[in-house]
Amino acid sequence: MKQNRNKDEGFTGLEAAIVLIAFVVVAAVFSYVVLGAGFFTTQKSQEVVYTSVDMASSSMEIIGDVYGLDADDDNDIEAIRFTLGLAAGGSPVDFSTVQMVYATESAVEILDGTDPLNATVAGTKEWNITNGASDTDVLLEGEDKFTIIAVSTTALGTNTKFNLEIRPSTGAAFGLKRTTPAKIDKVNLLY
């Protein structure tokens, strides 16, 4: 006699479908988490790149010539006059937060902005905007042009190299490097 045994050891189709659905759900959740982390990382990387480009690029440029002014006829240049504008595609610069650093071979000075910045005369160790700004608008934007006079305590003699660095609160500093001429007049073109 043969014994008939009922063997329930194998998977039925329903059990196999449940296991398959569980694997698919786990894989879907895992892929969602991985893709979300990837998108987040990509977005943060993009923000860093844009911020770096903003910080590294100077948005200002010199318009026209740079002049050295001898205010008291002592054959020394006491003031530097130049005109600034925005470079093509440059972002606006708030001059109420700008710092200027004046340097020669022998001295380094931080020049303070006058109050208000559009004052008619800058004192020693100061800078101001003589043309292009108002009491309430010192934002260099669009087609604006600011004529700036910077006065240091260190007068420049003949054939003297200097650097005037314009540091906005955001963006790269703009360096203005020039040399005084061999003969100093009232108004001198600096090259």
pLDDT in tens, 164-190: 999 998 878 899 999 999 999 999 999
Query: To the nearest whole percent, how much of the chain has pLDDT over 70?
Result: 90
Per the prediction, the chain carries an average pLDDT of 87
Mean per-residue pLDDT, 130-134: 86
The whole-number pLDDT of residue 123 equals 77
The whole-number pLDDT of residue 88 equals 83
Q: How far apart are CA 174 and CA 148, in angstroms?
A: 14
The whole-number pLDDT of residue 134 equals 83
> pTM here?
0.71
- Confidence at 158, pLDDT banded by 50, 70, 90: very high
In sequence order, what are the residues at sequence separation of 6 or more whose Cβ sits closer than 8 angstroms to the Cβ of residue 66? 80, 81, 82, 176, 178, 189, 190
Mean per-residue pLDDT, 13-21: 86
Quote the DSSP letter at residue 105. S
The whole-number pLDDT of residue 50 equals 76
Residue 128 has pLDDT above 70, yes or no: yes
Per-residue pLDDT tens digits for 40-85: 888 888 888 777 766 656 689 999 999 999 988 888 999 999 999 9
Beta bridge mates, 149: 81, 128
The whole-number pLDDT of residue 173 equals 87
Q: Could you tell me if 177 and 82 are in contact, meaning their C-beta atoms sit under 8 angstroms apart?
A: no
What six digits make up the tokens of 16?
């196999």
Q: Which residue has the higher pLDDT, 15 or 145?
A: 145
The whole-number pLDDT of residue 165 equals 95
What six digits make up the tokens of 143?
């087609």
Per-residue pLDDT tens digits for 103-116: 999 999 999 998 88
